[in-house]
């Protein structure tokens, strides 16, 4: 099996775990590569096996069987942007705190490696949101696993986002911004703005306003077969749009629409994993003296 490891700003206390992870794969006959920044950070400190090599270009992804994302959910989002349409399975090892996406804890790494190499896992296809715009944005990385967002910039004044579903007028949101979230992203920014939680395999988008001026405005769930388009107005000449952690300034003349991406993100899930267990643990559901 050909394995690629990806991490961002790995803490010193976790580097030993990564070396043990690499050793475990090598002992089972797997070939291991590291993304360039991760490889360079380890090469400076030493300790890497000489047969571990860096990923030199995206063309090398064609030979990778599994990518292991080491970090928090932000690292896994970055991993998905790296993989793109290759649809390589991704396993998230959690070095952070929340971990809705990166679900493997430090103490479970050995068992995860064993199950992965023995094929004791399933793949979940997670839908992505795709941005189409009248000007090039995000250097071609115009897809996201969590959400697309329009937000005000450099002003305290709210903006108006006229929103259309398949060409039909939905609403004009007077707000700080608007979020279009995938089911995966429903536990992220959308949740913090009052959006609903959605099962990861649901076929929906959530449109959630950010700090709306009208109190009767609420999030709405629509089919992910929909095409959602926008027109923006505001006192400022510039606005911000983002896909997951990537953001870019635009002006009101830019045409924007989002739809479901043609490819998916494939997440490795072991048979003891449950999305609902994760919800209860991360959101502290059930911690009530009456239960």
Is residue 29 annotated as involved in ligand binding?
A: no
Contact assessment for residue 103 and residue 187, using Cβ atoms and an 8 Å cutoff: no
Rg (CA), the chain: 21
Q: Is 164 annotated as a binding residue?
A: no
The two beta strands, 90-94 and 147-152, are: unpaired
Sheet of strand 143-144, all strands in order from the earlier edge strand to the far edge: 143-144, 129-133, 256-260, 228-233, 159-165, 168-175
**Residue located via tokens 């400190």:** 45
74 is in an annotated binding site: yes
84 is in an annotated binding site: no
Q: Is 49 annotated as a binding residue?
A: no
Determine whether the annotation assigns residue 147 to a binding site: yes
Does the annotation place 189 within a ligand binding site?
yes
What CA dihedral angle connects 80, 61, 105 and 270, to 10 degrees? 90
Catalytic residue among 73, 78, 115, 224: 73
Check residue 42 and report its DSSP letter. Answer: H
Tell how strand 31-34 and strand 2-7 pair up.
Answer: parallel
- Tell me how far apart the alpha carbons of residues 112 and 269 are, in angstroms, rounded to a whole number: 10
Query: Does 107 carry a binding-site annotation?
Result: no
**Sign of dihedral through CA atoms 280, 281, 282, 285?**
positive
The separation between the first and the last C-alpha atoms of the chain, rounded to the nearest angstrom, is 46
- Binding residue per annotation — 227? no
Question: Does 277 participate in catalysis according to the annotation?
Answer: no
191 carries a ligand binding annotation = yes
Q: CB-based contacts of 108: which residues, under 8 Å, 6+ apart?
A: none
Residue length, the chain?
Answer: 291
195 is annotated as contributing to ligand binding = no
Whole-angstrom distance, CA of residue 104 vs CA of residue 156: 41
Helix ranges (DSSP H) in 28-142:
36-45, 73-83, 109-117
Q: Which residues are annotated as a binding site for NAD(+)?
A: 73-74, 146-147, 176, 187-192
Going by the annotation, the residues of the binding site are 73-74, 146-147, 176, 187-192
Q: Which residues belong to the active site?
A: 73
């Amino acid at each position: 099996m050909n394995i690629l490891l990806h991490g961002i700003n790995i803490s010193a206390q976790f580097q030993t775990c990564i070396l043990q992870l690499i050793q475990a794969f090598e002992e089972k006959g797997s070939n291991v590569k590291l993304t360039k920044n991760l490889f360079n950070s380890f090469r400076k400190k030493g300790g890497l096996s000489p047969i571990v090599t860096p990923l030199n270009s995206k063309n090398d992804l064609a030979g990778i069987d599994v990518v292991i994302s080491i970090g928090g959910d932000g690292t896994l989002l970055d991993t998905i942007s790296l993989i793109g349409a290759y649809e390589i399975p991704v396993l998230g090892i959690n070095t952070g705190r929340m971990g809705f996406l990166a679900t493997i804890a430090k103490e479970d790494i050995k068992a995860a490696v064993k199950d992965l190499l023995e094929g004791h896992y399933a793949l979940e296809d997670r839908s992505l949101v795709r941005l189409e715009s009248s000007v090039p944005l995000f250097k071609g990385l115009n897809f996201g696993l969590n959400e697309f967002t329009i937000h005000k910039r450099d002003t305290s004044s709210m903006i108006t986002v006229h929103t259309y579903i398949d060409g039909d007028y939905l609403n004009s949101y007077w707000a700080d911004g608007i979020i279009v979230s995938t089911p995966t992203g429903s536990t992220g920014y959308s949740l913090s703005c009052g959006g609903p939680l959605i099962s990861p395999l649901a076929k929906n988008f959530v449109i959630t306003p950010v700090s709306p001026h009208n109190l009767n405005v609420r999030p709405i769930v629509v089919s992910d077969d929909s095409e959602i388009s926008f027109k923006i107005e505001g006192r400022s000449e510039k606005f911000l749009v983002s896909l997951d952690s990537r953001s870019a300034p635009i002006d009101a003349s830019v045409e924007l629409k989002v739809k479901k991406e043609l490819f998916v993100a494939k997440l490795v899930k072991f048979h003891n994993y449950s999305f609902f267990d994760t919800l209860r643990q991360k959101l502290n559901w059930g911690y009530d003296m009456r239960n």
